[in-house]
Amino acid sequence: MTSPQLELALWVVQPILVSAVAVVMYRRRLHKEFPFFFAFLVAQVAVFLVQFSTCHFASYHVYFITYWITTAIILIFDFKIIHEIFLDIFRPYHALKDLGTVLFKWAALIMVLVSAVLISTNPAWHDPIGRSIQVLQRCVRVIQCGMVLFLLAFCKHLNVSWRRQSFGIAWGFGLFAATYLVTNALFSGSHVSNEFADLLNTGSFDVAICVWLAYSVLNRRELAMPVLVPQRWDNALMDLQPYNEPESLIPMFEHMVDRAFSRTADRHA
């Protein structure tokens, strides 16, 4: 089997595996705990049908536009899933969850600004929208790798079991993200061909889906119990909350960030 045929086979098997993960999650009611990840699985099947049909039955221009639109949609799901995993890991710590939500909002804004700056500083790009999506994609892949490293480093401190569904989702994304970043680096340095890089990326995503399937089948609903050090952080953040305020600390954190930015702007004025 040639490399293009092998890549096509690995690509075609993806919606089958993804559908299996979605069915298992639905039967085990895991779709209620991870709604964005479940929506991502459904979207992956729809994206495959659209991309496969345009790739084989439409012009290259149509496929090109369709590819980047669907990639941007999946990219939004990727980022929301990172946030969803974070919320599941820090479920016992309400203040840390609120702080993480604010940080994720600002991280998304910064990634969009970085891509916009790169477009403005590189006017010679033939496809600025596609390049911008690529920049955002690489940022998300780096965050996914960092998320796995974070879980591996702090799972004991947070009392997070590696058997949890959120750990499996993060592990699958981290495996695919690491392969994606390595293959793109090798391709940029002309060490591997584009066909070989695409083959590795497609195969690694298949492996990631198999990891999700295994975790969905063998899932154990193990909740993280509060442990001492993170509980101290959570209590310290809760102490910052004014009295008679709503339970969520998100408005307070956002106000603190806005004040910090306004002071910085006043100093440079």
pLDDT value at residue 117: 64
pLDDT value at residue 268: 47
Report the chain's mean pLDDT, rounded to a whole number.
Answer: 78
Give Cβ neighbours of residue 49 (< 8 Å, ≥ 6 apart).
15
Q: What is the mean pLDDT of residues 243-263?
A: 49
pLDDT digits (tens, 9 = 90+) for 27-63: 999 999 999 999 999 999 999 999 999 988 888 889 9
pLDDT value at residue 79: 86
pLDDT digits (tens, 9 = 90+) for 106-160: 666 776 676 666 655 555 556 667 777 887 888 888 888 888 887 777 777 666 6
Percent of the chain with pLDDT over 90: 34
pLDDT value at residue 126: 63
Q: Are 47 and 70 in contact (CB under 8 A)?
A: yes
pLDDT value at residue 194: 87
Residue 75 or residue 249, greater confidence: 75
Asked whether residue 263 carries a pLDDT value surpassing 60, the answer given is: no
pLDDT value at residue 122: 58
Alpha-carbon distance of 34 to 216, in angstroms, equals 11
Lowest mean pLDDT among 11-25, 64-78, 87-101: 87-101
Residue 234 or residue 93, greater confidence: 93
Q: How far is CA 17 from the centre of its chain?
A: 19
Q: Which of 143, 165, 161, 139 is nearest to 152 (CA)?
A: 161
pLDDT value at residue 36: 95
Asked whether residue 192 carries a pLDDT value surpassing 60, the answer given is: yes
Sign of CA dihedral 111, 112, 115, 117: negative
pLDDT digits (tens, 9 = 90+) for 94-114: 655 666 666 666 666 776 676
